[in-house]
Amino acid sequence: MAQYLTGLDGVFLALADPTRRAVIHRLGHGPASVGDLAREATMTLPSFMKHVRTLESNGLIRTVKCGRVRTCELDRERLAVVEDWLAEQRRLWEERTDRLDQFVTNSTERNTT
Amino acid sequence: MAQYLTGLDGVFLALADPTRRAVIHRLGHGPASVGDLAREATMTLPSFMKHVRTLESNGLIRTVKCGRVRTCELDRERLAVVEDWLAEQRRLWEERTDRLDQFVTNSTERNTT
C-alpha cells in the first residue's frame, strides 16, 4: 500500500509540469527521439533531459538507446494507475449522489402519500 | 491556454500527496469538518491546514466557516479537468493502436492474396 501511494505521488508530481505533459501527449502519437522531443519543446538538451529522467524514473515513459539516439515511448500502464485512482473517486461520488437521489425520491413519495 | 496549463500544474501537484488524496477520497462520501479530517489524518490542525489550503487554492475543495467549524466539500469539476486530460491522452493512444491494427491487417491480407 505504501509503495502504491509513493508511486502515485511520483506520477502526479511528474505530470505537474506542462513540458512533461506535452511529452506524454506527443508520445501518444508514437515513439520519438529525445533530440526531436527537445526541439519541439524549444529547450536545450540538458534541460530537457531532466524532464525525461523525471518521466522515466516515475515509470511514465521508457527510453532505449541505439547508437547515438535515445528513443522514448509511453508506458501506458503507469497513466492507468492515475485513471484507476480517479475512477475510484468518481465511483464514490456517484454512489453518494445515487443515495441522495434515492433519499429525495423517498421523502417526496412520503410527503405526497 | 497558459491559464489552463497552470491550473493543471496546480491540480496535479495538489494530488501528489497521500494526505491530500486521502482528503479527496474521504470527501467523496460527503462534506466533513476540518477538525474531523485532521483527526482521521492523525495530524495536528496547523499541519493539516496547510494541506487544506493547497487543496482549496487549487480548486479541488471548497470550505465554508460556520461559527467555529470549517466544513470542506469536494469541487468535482476540478478533478474532471484531470479526467479530461487523461481521456485526451487515451484517445490518442487508442487511435494510434487502431491505425497499427489496420496496418497489420492490411499487410497480412496483402501477403495472403
User: What is the pLDDT averaged over residues B77-96?
Assistant: 91
Average pLDDT on B33-43 reads 95
Give CA separation, B106 vs A106, B73, B109, in Å: 57, 53, 5
User: CA dist B32 to A22, A38, B19, B36, B37, Å?
Assistant: 36, 45, 15, 7, 7
Q: What are phi and psi of B10, to 5 degrees?
A: -65, -40
- The three cell numbers locating residue B83: 479526467
Domains along chain B with CATH numbers: 2-112 (1.10.10.10)
A17-45, pLDDT tens digit by residue? 999 999 999 999 999 999 999 999 999 99
ipTM here: 0.83
User: Distance between CA atoms of A34 and A37, rounded to whole angstroms?
Assistant: 5
- Banded model confidence at residue B98, pLDDT cuts 50, 70, 90: confident
Write out the residues of chain B at the interface with chain A, using a CB-CB cutoff of 8 A: 5, 8-10, 12-13, 15-18, 21, 24-25, 28-30, 74, 76, 79, 82-83, 85-86, 88-90, 92-93, 96
B55: which strand partners?
none
Q: How confident is the model at residue B4 (pLDDT cuts 50, 70, 90)?
A: very low
